[in-house]
């Protein structure tokens, strides 16, 4: 690794990703990987906080590895690995648990939302989720963390834990900054534009999955909830159209203002078709590339294995420092 700053991010292999995950996270990873030492993880341990079918989880993990690569993460430039392949993540999480307070964890919006959604499975892992996420980030002396807007609160906690540990035991962790894109950090549901687009939504028409083909994408945009008048502009009282314009501007690479001009005087039908076509033209080649990569599991296994070796080298440097600072006796070898 050269002396560029470290960037870390992760995505859970908890299902097929949506264009929300793409616009809020994945798209930025590729943009940033040349200017930083990028470390990208499959947050497989995080997914266990919600019930998973073991076979589906394994499949989703390969899907996500292939998607990262298809979206342009270059394993020669960046490190790509599975969180569970580097045990330092859970080891550091344990130490951070001893300085994290139940009060601050139970106040987290995601914990409250997911507790409501999964009433039958409110487990310790669900509450401890942000501490494992803090460990992910702090292990690598990370300076920048690209995330969607919904993860801002978790990043704040990672910063608080780094500062708390440094104050108590001496300078150990870099305090990371978040990178939240100006547009696309919170893509909204197509069915209920006041709520964020989520891959676990029961209504399949509420999101565009990265696996949807062109016809499906166009059909879903056609059904997208819009507002009562016929104006195609961004406005606080037009959340549906604002969301579609944002999606269009990012996928067609035009500014919101230019998009508004382009559709001035046009009807919703025309507009929605254009949004669908713009999205499909970007997603189609990514999906095809992902499926090609998925056919070669041994290549994906190799990438992840080499990624885990490189990640572990960096991670254990920090973990060694942490163990020493808190007073654990180092194991004597030989």
> Which residues have a catalytic role annotated?
114, 196, 199
148 scored as a contact of ligand ATP (CB under 6 A): yes
Measured from the CB atom, the residue of 196 and 290 that comes closer to ligand ATP is 196
**Which residue has tokens 């990262």?**
68
- Residue placing its CB nearer to ligand ATP in the complex, 241 or 322: 241
Helix, strand, coil tally for the chain in percent (to 5): 55, 10, 35
Q: How far apart are CA 255 and CA 183, in angstroms?
A: 10
Q: Which stretch binds ligand LTN (CB under 6 A): 67-75, 96-104, 129-137, 262-270?
A: 129-137
Q: Is 226 in the site for ligand ATP (CB under 6 A)?
A: no
Options 6, 7, 10, 65; binder of ligand LTN; rule CB under 6 A: 10
Q: What backbone torsions phi and psi does residue 255 show, to the nearest 5 degrees?
A: -75, 160
Q: Is 89 in the site for ligand ATP (CB under 6 A)?
A: no
Partner from ligand ATP, ligand LTN, none contacting 136, C-beta within 5 to 8 A by type: ligand LTN
Residue 27: partners with Cβ closer than 8 Å, 6 or more residues away? 71, 184, 250
Q: How far is the CB of 78 from ligand ATP (least distance, A)?
A: 16
Closer by beta carbon to ligand ATP, 12 or else 318? 12
Cα 135 to Cα 104, 214, 265, 318: the distances in Å are 16, 39, 51, 10
Instruction: List CB contacts of 159: < 8 A, sequence separation 6 or more.
Output: 175, 176
- Longest Cα–Cα distance in the chain: 78
Residues numbered 46-105 forming contacts with ligand LTN, rule: CB under 6 A: 46
Q: Residues 182 to 211: which contact ligand ATP by CB under 6 A?
A: 185-187, 196-200
Binding site for ligand LTN (CB under 6 A): 8-12, 43, 46, 133, 136-137, 145, 147, 151, 154
């Amino acid at each position: 690794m050269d002396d560029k700053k470290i960037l870390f991010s992760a995505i859970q292999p908890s299902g097929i990703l949506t264009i929300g995950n793409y616009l809020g996270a994945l798209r930025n990873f590729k943009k940033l990987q040349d200017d930083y030492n990028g470390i990208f993880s499959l947050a497989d341990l995080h997914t266990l906080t919600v019930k998973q079918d073991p076979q589906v989880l394994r499949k989703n993990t390969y899907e996500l590895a292939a998607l990262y690569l298809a979206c342009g993460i270059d394993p020669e430039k960046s490190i790509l690995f599975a969180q569970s392949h580097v045990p330092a993540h859970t080891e550091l999480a344990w130490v951070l648990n001893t300085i994290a307070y139940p009060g601050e964890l139970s106040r987290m919006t995601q914990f409250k939302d997911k507790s409501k959604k999964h009433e039958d499975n409110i487990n310790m892992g669900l509450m401890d989720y942000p501490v494992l996420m803090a460990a992910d980030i702090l292990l690598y002396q990370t300076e920048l963390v690209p995330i969607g807007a919904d993860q801002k609160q978790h990043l704040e906690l990672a910063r608080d834990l780094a500062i708390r540990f440094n104050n108590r035991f001496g300078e150990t962790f870099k305090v990371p900054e978040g990178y939240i894109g100006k547009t696309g950090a919170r893509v909204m549901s197509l069915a209920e534009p006041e709520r964020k687009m989520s891959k676990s939504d029961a209504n399949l028409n509420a999101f565009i999955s990265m696996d949807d083909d062109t016809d499906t994408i166009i059909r879903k945009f056609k059904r997208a909830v819009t507002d009562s008048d016929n104006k195609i502009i961004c406005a606080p009282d037009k959340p549906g159209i604002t969301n579609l314009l944002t999606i269009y501007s990012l996928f067609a690479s035009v500014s919101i203002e230019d998009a508004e001009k382009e559709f001035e005087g046009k009807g919703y039908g025309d507009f929605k078709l254009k949004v669908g076509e713009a999205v499909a033209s970007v997603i189609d080649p990514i999906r095809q590339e992902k499926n090609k990569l998925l056919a070669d599991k041994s290549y994906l296994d190799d990438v992840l294995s080499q990624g885990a070796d490189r990640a572990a080298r960096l991670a254990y440097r920090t973990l060694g420092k942490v163990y020493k600072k808190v007073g654990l006796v180092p194991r004597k070898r030989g």
